[in-house]
């Protein structure tokens, strides 16, 4: 597509529920990234995919967070047993290569855990 698409744009869920956030990167981009942006903060790195594999998942805060990219295109970020502290904007980005070229970000999914 023309840009990075994230769905849903907003998600409200109850504490303890499971959520999935979807990212559709720019067609042909092999690198995909997830970041989390808490209120008043800059984005923080969660995970980086090169193709289908997670090349670096060191930013995932704990084992409740998991992400997949089974066909090397669309990615899903999965959060189990959500907590109120998970409330944030989850950003996805993609690039044609992992390097110094800059990413293209999606508009994000605003997750609110009540």
Partner 1 sequence: GNSVTQMEGPVTLSEEAFLTINCTYTATGYPSLFWYVQYPGEGLQLLLKATKADDKGSNKGFEATYRKETTSFHLEKGSVQVSDSAVYFCALSSPTSGTYKYIFGTGTRLKVLA
Report the distance separating Cα 22 and Cα 43, nearest Å.
18
Please report whether residue 25 would count as binding partner 1 according to CB under 8 A. no
With contacts defined by CB under 8 A, how many residues of the chain interact with partner 1?
A: 28
Among 106, 109, 111, 113, binds partner 1 (CB under 8 A): 106
- Token pair, residue 53, equals 């594999």
DSSP type of residue 60:
-
CA 75 to chain centre: 8
Largest CA distance in the chain: 39
Helix (H, G, I), strand (E, B) or coil at 25: coil
Smallest distance, partner 1 to C-beta of residue 83, A: 23
Please report whether residue 19 would count as binding partner 1 according to CB under 8 A. no
Report the distance separating Cα 93 and Cα 88, nearest Å.
16
Please report whether residue 107 would count as binding partner 1 according to CB under 8 A. yes
Residue closer to partner 1 (CB basis): 40 or 70: 40
Tell me the Ramachandran region of residue 72: left when phi exceeds 0, alpha when psi lies from -120 to 50, beta otherwise.
left
Among 10, 41, 80, 112, binds partner 1 (CB under 8 A): 41
Smallest distance, partner 1 to C-beta of residue 80, A: 24
Which stretches of the chain bind partner 1, using CB under 8 A? 3-4, 31, 33, 35, 40-45, 48, 55-56, 59, 91, 93, 95, 98-100, 102-108
């Amino acid at each position: 597509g023309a840009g990075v698409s994230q769905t849903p744009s907003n998600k409200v869920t109850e504490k303890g529920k499971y959520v999935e956030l979807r990212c559709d990167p720019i067609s042909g981009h092999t690198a995909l990234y997830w970041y989390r942006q808490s209120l008043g903060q800059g984005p923080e790195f969660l995970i980086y995919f090169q193709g289908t594999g997670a090349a670096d998942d060191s930013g995932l805060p704990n084992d409740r967070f998991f992400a997949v990219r089974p066909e090397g295109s669309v990615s899903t970020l999965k959060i189990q047993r959500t907590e109120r502290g998970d409330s944030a904007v989850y950003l996805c980005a993609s690039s044609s290569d992992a390097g110094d070229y800059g990413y293209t970000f999606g508009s994000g999914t605003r997750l609110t855990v009540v």
